[in-house]
Amino acid sequence: MKIESSNLGFPRIGAEREWKRVLEDFWAGKTEEKDFLPAMKRIRLEHIKKQADAGVNRVPVGDFTLYDHVLDTAVMFGLIPERFQHREGPVSLNTYFSMARGAEGKAACEMTKWFNTNYHYIVPEWGEAEPVLTENKPLTAWREAKEELGIEGKPVLLGPYTFAKLSKGFKPADLPGVLKKLVPLYAKVLRELEDAGVEWVQVDEPALVLTHPHGEMEAVEEVYQELARSVSGVRIMLQTYFGSIEHYQDVARLPVAGIGLDFQAGREGNLHSLRRFGFPENKVMGVGILDGRNIWRGDLPQELDFLEGELRSLGACSGWWIQPSCSLIHVPVSVGKEEELPPVLKRALSFAEEKLEETTLLTRALCERKEMVEEGLQAARDALHGLARSELRTRPEVREAVRQVTELDTWRDTPYPERRRIQQERFRLPLFPTTTIGSLPQTREVRGARLKWRRGDWSDARYREFVKKEIADWIHIQEELDLDVLVHGEFERTDMVEYFGEKLDGFAFTRYGWVQSYGSRCVKPPILFGDVEFREAMTVEEVVYAQSLTSRPVKGMLTGPVTILNWSFVRDDLPRQEVARQVALALKAEVKALEAAGIGMIQMDEPALREGLPLKSEEQKTYLDWAISSFRLAVSGTVAETQVHTHMCYSDFHDILEAIREMDADVISIETSRSHGELIEAFETHTYDKGIGLGVYDIHSPRVPPVEEMAESVRRALRVLEPSLFWINPDCGLKTRTRDEVVPALRNMVEAARHLREEQRLKVHG
């Protein structure tokens, strides 16, 4: 049996986010296309060479993108919405980026979460136009690597079933027809790769791990049968990840040369299938043995025992590819520069470059005499054991506090109908109250001031005064705009999770640990490695100062426990629900501090609640039970007069509306702008009786939507929602936008609210 090393995808952004800088300079007009494309090419080739130099046998090519790999696939197949006025032929960069970010008079395509990760993809839209191949992107990538580097890579292609499942614009029953339209295009791509001399193609089909009707497998089988009839010389590695294959027997029978299995998130399910049905002898198994979504070093001796023992005993196959469980775009690039981490923690970490080393080390251990790599294997185990024994990791008092929590502790004392009456008397807000989600523009001056403070160039006092000035300026702007409920702007915060992690025990922080969230937007997740404990008030000073400047309510802004969990790299030695309760108890102490300081509205955001939902339907209730319970625990100590808000964005909420109601928040805001109000349809079958704001404009686009467009999105919602419950707000925080974009957009939003109030007044009074 031949054993090789493989990788599924590499971070695009670069060790110091050089990809992001090149991209944003192009958007800002500082770089022309003739300079932009060569700069991106240099980055792309550097990443390919780095993987080859690490000893990876099967290096992916074509996984690199200028924005998003799903958008790349849509553009490659000519799925350009009519509003972008593309006719035929190659798609321009202007059209490509307009689809991603929007343009004047052209709303951006919808953006949502890539399965249950924090990566966002651009949703393909199927319209009237027939799909057509505009460019063979995998072939271009393969030729580039071969000609420039002499490396014959493994082209990566998003599979037809997954591409169709991630698309919109057709009914589920039409899926077989959509796949039939795609098959000739995929066949042409593969034939051209075959003609060029490509040996293997990685076809990503993560949708095969979803809970889906067995009938869809018939359509999948037809697709791959047709591809096998059309192309015989190129070998397909059908790659799955993020869980175990749902209909394993059917997938195992597909006419492909290899099947990639996830032995991290999908280990239990995939092993069950292998024990029961075996693995095809004539296929290569892609063994996803190293965690591609977390940053902990693998216990390599343990994984080697698994490979040589249980996995090998399950039957013969034509070969193994030892590889990460999924693409490495979900982890930072390199641990090497992280000089400020505690040594015991740093030794236990593995980012993308280190995971390549682990991959090749395991491959060598299987192919050579084990003693030749024994030192490396043992170093991995020693690093993990060192962290486990560290006093940094365990706080007995925190563990005991979690054990003492009961179900009754996770509910507020006063039911919502009574709270609503009390809060209406306290705040006396108009119909359709207006507010923002929390953050306001983080200008170059704001970022520069924070950097000077962190470097020690500014004293704490000088930095606090700067932040106060920003708060005061924006309180004045919000009052001028006539917003009903204000925010302090979060100018003191870098990231909505990092900020809280820095003020709680149990977290550590990297300097270069960036990962891509969407487009050029990168985040630096904290490392949640120890027990979490509240130290002192984290947000009170800034919010109380803002409230002192106005008679209008100012919301206290917190990040919820589930989002802190899902947007951190979390320890893997405790159940996630136990870690979530630790975070919830720490946040509960902050909520009490805000209440004690006189803050009457507290927003605890949970934008990542949906993304943590397991992909298997049978596992979802367990997750939702402890996730919703953790949110309620964090706000359970509030008095009836305190109005609790929460916010969620960029996910499909249709199937969890009942769980959202169980959060028992007084007001919830949910993104609907990019999905063009489609979430509203869910309320036709699910009643909702608490305050709700469906974001009326897309903050991820520089476009300023007109008044009537925002008003119309609310009118659609009012067909199924009670007007007295409705709030008017943007769909997300405004930190990434400029003042020149934010002020006119909010002015239009307030004007839209006025129009809607007058319409309701006329409806009631004639």
pLDDT at 685: 67
Q: With 70 as the cut, is the pLDDT of residue 401 above it?
A: yes
Going by the annotation, the residues of the binding site are 17-20, 113, 437-439, 490, 521-522, 567, 605, 611, 647, 649, 671, 732
Going by the annotation, the residues of the binding site for 5-methyltetrahydropteroyltri-L-glutamate are 17-20, 113, 521-522, 567, 611
Q: Decide: pTM greater than 0.85.
A: yes
Separation CA 633–CA 591 (nearest Å): 11
Q: What is the pLDDT of residues 69-118, one digit of tens each?
A: 999 999 999 999 999 988 888 899 999 999 999 988 888 999 988 999 98
Mean local confidence (pLDDT), 302-321: 94
End-to-end CA distance of the chain: 81
Own/partner pairs for 395-403, CB < 8 Å, 24+ apart? 395/505, 395/506, 395/530, 395/531, 395/533, 397/533, 398/531, 398/532, 398/533, 398/582, 398/585, 399/531, 401/585, 402/578, 402/581, 402/582, 402/585
Q: With 90 as the cut, is the pLDDT of residue 235 above it?
A: yes
Cα distances from 223 to residues 157, 235, 607, 702, in angstroms, run: 15, 15, 36, 40
Instruction: Find where tokens 């299938």 sit.
Output: 273
342 phi and psi angles, rounded to 5 deg: -55, 135
Alpha helices in 77-174 (DSSP H): 93-101, 137-149, 160-165
Which amino acid belongs to residue 464? R
CA angle 649, 652, 656 (to 5 degrees): 100
Q: What is the pLDDT of residues 14-32, one digit of tens each?
A: 999 999 999 999 999 999 9
| Catalytic sites, residue numbers | 700
Residues in contact with 492: Cβ distance below 8 Å, sequence separation at least 6, in sequence order = 450, 467, 499, 542
Q: What is the pLDDT of residues 42-53, one digit of tens each?
A: 999 999 999 999
Task: Decide: 424 and 600 in contact? Cβ < 8 Å.
Answer: no
Which amino acid belongs to residue 602? I
Q: How confident is the model at residue 296 (pLDDT cuts 50, 70, 90)?
A: very high
Q: What is the pLDDT of residues 314-333, one digit of tens each?
A: 988 999 999 999 999 999 99
Which amino acid belongs to residue 457? D
Question: Residue 623 is encoded by which pair of tokens?
Answer: 């997750």
Least confident interval from 161-165, 491-495, 682-686: 682-686
Q: With 90 as the cut, is the pLDDT of residue 697 above it?
A: no
249 C-beta neighbours (distance < 10 Å), count: 11
Mean local confidence (pLDDT), 357-381: 91
pLDDT at 370: 75
Dihedral of the CA atoms 41, 42, 46, 48 (nearest 10)?
10
Least confident interval from 101-110, 131-140, 393-402, 584-593: 101-110
Question: Residue 188 is encoded by which pair of tokens?
Answer: 């042409």
When the pLDDT of each residue in the chain is averaged and rounded to a whole number, the result is 94
Task: Decide: 135 and 90 in contact? Cβ < 8 Å.
Answer: yes
Q: With 70 as the cut, is the pLDDT of residue 381 above it?
A: yes
High-pLDDT (> 90) share of the chain, %: 85
Going by the annotation, the residues of the binding site for Zn(2+) are 647, 649, 671, 732
Out of 246-255, 364-373, 490-499, give the one with best mean pLDDT.
246-255
Map out the domains of the chain with their CATH numbers. Answer: 2-333+341-389 (3.20.20.210), 432-765 (3.20.20.210)
Task: Decide: 322 and 366 in contact? Cβ < 8 Å.
Answer: yes
Mean local confidence (pLDDT), 474-478: 98
Cα distances from 353 to residues 51, 147, 227, 269, 521, in angstroms, run: 8, 24, 34, 28, 21
Separation CA 704–CA 717 (nearest Å): 21
Separation CA 632–CA 639 (nearest Å): 13
